[in-house]
Structure 1
Amino acid sequence: MDARSHFETLARYNRWANRQLCDVAAQVSDAQYREDRGAFFGSLRGTLNHILAVDRLWLERIEGSGPKPSSLDGILHDGFAGLRAAREAEDERLLRVASQTPAERFGSTLAYRSTEGEHYELPFAQVLTHVFNHQTHHRGQAHTLLGQFGLKTPVLDFVYFLLESR
């Protein structure tokens, strides 16, 4: 499998997993959505906003344009409906980036500045891998929060996406 196909598959999985998670998150009350449950970003609201903020930050670095959040813990969308719509749009953007990136770029280096202004250079493919891994990590935290509310949480394992996508 070439790099582009690999990352397109990860982008489709990412969109699938986020939709599954959002379908369940839509069942919580606004109070539950905002309740600080002791997660790394406090609440379901904080966790889902963090994922979106980091995606936007990395995609701005990759594309050189687009929204660029000023912090990793800011609330980009206060209510769930707005966040869900933004999540859908960002997942489509991520899929577009994966599918339209020239093949040679996957072997290149991405130079960027951290939120503190420090200059870094990392292999582009590894940065893109980080974007997907970061979402998986924090989606797991959101998944736990949903379970704490007594909701039936979805199975989000990559293999189930592959089986469903055949």
Structure 2
Amino acid sequence: MQDTRNIRMLTRYTAWANDRLLKALGQLPPGEVTAPRATSFGNMIRTLNHAYVVDLIWQAHLEGRPHGFTSRNTDATPTLAQLQEQQQGLDGWYIRYADGLTAPTQSEIVHFNFVDGGKGAMTRGDMLLHIVNHKTFHRGYVADMMYQVPARPPSMDLPVFLRDAAPDLS
């Protein structure tokens, strides 16, 4: 049951860290979240939109349905407010999904197709761990871009979440 507890905690951590970062981005001077940056997605908002799209793709895999994406980002970029609202809703879905996992369902293997067409198979628990890790990776990119503004990113470390915001999941 420790694994299930950790997955539940990590989905909550992700929602907390996403919320902190998105609120901090809202405090930046106008235009900074869309300003061109030396990064693979071009700017802060497109980087976070990529993470959101990937969340949608893995949600579809977990639900056993097609996701409809042919790319890991969208042509149109949402506003920061739109992305924040959409990400909060999806973070809530992941928390509820993790809360519904049992040890047997967490170990269940799900077969899926990657966006590039390749075949994949992972356990539900490993899929959730990937989702958490993927967003942590891209929040780090955005935190680095904030230093380029210059602005200080919020603390989004797991120990800070455990100290300040983690619910008792025992």
Residues 1:124 and 2:124 are matched in the alignment: yes
Partner-residue secondary structure (3-state), 2:31: helix
Could you tell me which residue of structure 1 aligns to residue 161 of structure 2? 161
SS in 2 for 1:45: helix
**Aligned letter for 1:15?**
A
1:66 positional shift: 8.3
Rounded to whole Å, the distance in 1 between the matches of 2:44 and 2:22 is 11
CA gap 1:23/1:134 in 2 versus in 1, 3 angstroms? same
In the TM superposition, 1:1-166 aligns within 5 A as 1-65=1-65, 68-75=68-75, 77-165=77-165
Shift of 1:76: 5.8
Contact 1:46 1:75 in 2 (8 A): no
Instruction: Output one character per residue of 1:88-120: Cα deviation in whole Å (capped at 9) or x when no partner.
Output: 111101101111123311112121011122222
CA distance 1:67–1:86, change in 2 (3 Å): farther
Cα distance, 1:123–1:158 mapped onto 2, change above 3 Å? same
Give the partner amino acid of 1:63. Answer: E
Q: What TM-score comes out, normalization by structure 1 length?
A: 0.91
Identity, % of aligned positions:
25
In 2: Cα distance, 1:87 partner to 1:14 partner: 10
Please tell me whether the aligned partners of residues 57 and 67 of structure 1 are also in contact (alpha carbons under 8 angstroms).
yes
TM-score (norm 2): 0.89
RMSD (Å), alpha carbons: 1.8
Q: Which runs of 5+ in 1 are unaligned?
A: none
In the aligned structure 1, how far is the partner of 2:76 from the partner of 2:123? 28
Inter-CA distance 76–134: structure 2 relative to 1 (3 Å threshold):
farther
Larger helix proportion of the pair = 1
Between the aligned partners of 1:20 and 1:89, the Cα distance in structure 2 is 15
For residue 47 of structure 1, report the CA deviation from its aligned partner. 0.4
Q: 1:59 & 1:3 partners in 2: Cα distance? A: 20
Whose RCO is larger (CA < 8 A, sep 6+)? 2
Q: Which moved more, 1:11-20 or 1:30-39?
A: 30-39
- 1:38-87 CA distances to partner (integer Å, 9 max, x unpaired)? 11211001101001000010011001358643311225642111011001
In the TM superposition, residue 29 of structure 1 has moved relative to its aligned partner by 3.9
Unaligned 5+ segments in structure 2 are none
Aligned length: 166
